[in-house]
């Protein structure tokens, strides 16, 4: 699998496995299957209520813990320094692991000082509970506040797919050495129906899902599609084995739209 270097020693597999809405046995079996097929990057969150199943699947696999990149997220109500520290400690218990590779602020919360939150993250890092710090659903203005703290963040995980091509945010992240991670990379299935994507898929004899994931990953973005369907899990991984022409990249770049799927009432996208 192609890799994204975070530090000289640390690499993040660009195709991860999303686990939102996967619970109980379906979650455990799907994560086990994903690891068996070759995924080495798993994305979860406290609010997905599946830490136990994700942790059990990783433990059951024959892959060494150090060879799996594990991301989880602290919910927006738990962003005080104290709650961040307590959350990190609880998460490693639930995930049955000694450390988390990447811990994210799941959503910004303007009622809690970012400095206080990041202090908690730095403490978890100093204690060896997490390796990297990241954010999710942050706008450029949120990111500017983080950059002012001088605390380096690894990624901003945001909704990103052909019908929500967030180019300005991507360019800002690239300039500031922040990797973008694309959630809902296939727009929960909606973008598979875009005629331009379908035409390109036919041309390469590939699936629309594979065209979209390849378009994302070749931009240096991490994609974390979720599936509980064994065929889809495998197909998504195979999206890496494809070379789209620059012209086809352009066609997808120009699809346009502002099709935001995840927009809860507490979001701060207008900040
Ligand atoms: N940070 C955040 O706030 C945030 C928000 C949303 C999501 N996320 C993360 O991002 C991950 C991905 O986003 P998502 O789960 O919302 O959406 P997604 O990955 O864009 O789409 C998932 C849906 O697409 C289907 N699917 C997957 N692969 C397919 C394929 N090859 N062909 C046809 N259908 C396919 C799945 O059904 P089947 O199971 O039938 O394959 C499922 O219904 C989440 O699981 C989560 O880890 C983070």
In a domain, 14, yes or no: yes
Residues 39, 48, 165, 183: which is the catalytic one? 48
In a domain, 168, yes or no: yes
Determine the distance separating the centroid of ligand 1 and the alpha carbon of 21, expressed in angstroms.
Answer: 9
Indicate the range of 1-15, 142-156, 208-222, 244-258 predicted with least confidence: 1-15
Q: Which is it for strands 11-12 and 4-5: parallel, antiparallel or unpaired?
A: antiparallel
Q: Which of 39, 183, 214 to mutate to test the pocket of ligand 1 (most atoms within 8 A of CB)?
A: 183
Is 167's pLDDT higher than 60? Answer: yes
Domain interval for residue 228: 4-253
Q: Which is it for strands 130-136 and 155-159: parallel, antiparallel or unpaired?
A: parallel
Token look-up 């060896």 returns 128
For ligand 1, whether the C-beta of 198 sits within 6 Å is: no
**Is residue 7 very low, low, confident or very high in pLDDT (cuts 50, 70, 90)?**
low
Total-model pTM:
0.98
* Shortest-distance Cα residue to atom 48 of ligand 1: 183
For ligand 1, whether the C-beta of 117 sits within 6 Å is: no
In a domain, 27, yes or no: yes
For ligand 1, whether the C-beta of 163 sits within 6 Å is: no
Number of domains present in the structure of the chain: 1
pLDDT digits (tens, 9 = 90+) for 84-118: 999 999 999 999 999 999 999 999 999 999 999 99
Residues 199-212 have a mean pLDDT of 98
In the 8-state DSSP scheme, what is residue 15?
B
Q: Tell me the backbone φ, ψ of residue 200, rounded to 5 degrees.
A: -65, -40
pLDDT digits (tens, 9 = 90+) for 56-87: 999 999 899 999 999 999 999 999 999 999 99
Q: What is the pLDDT of residue 9?
A: 66
The torsion defined by the Cα of 124, 129, 133 and 135, in degrees rounded to 10, comes to -90
In a domain, 261, yes or no: no
In a domain, 130, yes or no: yes
Which atom of ligand 1 is the closest one to the Cα of 232?
A: 31
In a domain, 119, yes or no: yes
Residue 174, class by beta-carbon neighbours within 10 Å (0-12 exposed, 13-18 middle, 19+ buried)?
middle
Q: What is the pLDDT of residue 2?
A: 57
In a domain, 79, yes or no: yes
In a domain, 267, yes or no: no
Q: Which of 14, 15, 20 to mutate to test the pocket of ligand 1 (most atoms within 8 A of CB)?
A: 20
Q: What is the CATH number of the domain that holds 211?
A: 3.20.20.100
**Is residue 11 very low, low, confident or very high in pLDDT (cuts 50, 70, 90)?**
confident
* Shortest-distance Cα residue to atom 8 of ligand 1: 183
**To the nearest whole number, what is the mean pLDDT of the chain?**
96
Which atom of ligand 1 is the closest one to the Cα of 207?
A: 31
For ligand 1, whether the C-beta of 187 sits within 6 Å is: yes
* Shortest-distance Cα residue to atom 29 of ligand 1: 232
Q: Is 39 a catalytic site residue?
A: no
For ligand 1, whether the C-beta of 209 sits within 6 Å is: yes
């Amino acid at each position: 699998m192609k890799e994204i270097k975070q530090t000289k020693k640390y690499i993040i597999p660009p195709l991860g496995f999303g686990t939102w809405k996967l619970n109980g046995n379906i979650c455990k079996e799907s994560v086990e299957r994903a690891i068996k097929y070759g995924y080495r990057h798993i994305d979860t969150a406290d609010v997905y209520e599946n830490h136990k199943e994700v942790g059990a699947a990783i433990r059951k696999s024959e892959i060494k813990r150090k060879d799996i990149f594990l991301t989880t997220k602290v919910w927006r109500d738990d962003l005080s320094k104290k709650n961040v520290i307590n959350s990190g400690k609880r998460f490693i218990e639930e995930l049955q692991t000694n450390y988390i590779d990447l811990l994210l602020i799941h959503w910004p919360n303007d009622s809690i000082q970012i400095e206080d939150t990041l202090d908690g993250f730095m403490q978890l890092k100093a204690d060896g509970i997490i390796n990297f710090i990241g954010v999710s659903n942050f706008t450029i203005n949120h990111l500017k506040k983080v950059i002012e703290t001088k605390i380096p963040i690894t990624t901003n995980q945001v909704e990103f797919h052909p019908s929500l091509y967030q180019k300005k945010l991507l360019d800002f992240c690239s300039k500031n050495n922040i990797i973008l991670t694309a959630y809902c990379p296939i727009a929960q299935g909606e973008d598979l129906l875009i005629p331009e994507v379908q035409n390109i898929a036919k041309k390469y004899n590939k699936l629309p899902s594979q065209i979209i994931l390849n378009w994302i990953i070749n931009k240096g973005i991490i994609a974390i599609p979720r599936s509980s369907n064994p065929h889809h899990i495998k197909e998504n991984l195979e999206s890496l084995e494809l070379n789209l022409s620059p012209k086809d990249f352009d066609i997808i770049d120009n699809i346009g739209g502002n099709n935001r799927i995840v927009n809860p009432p507490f979001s701060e996208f207008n900040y």
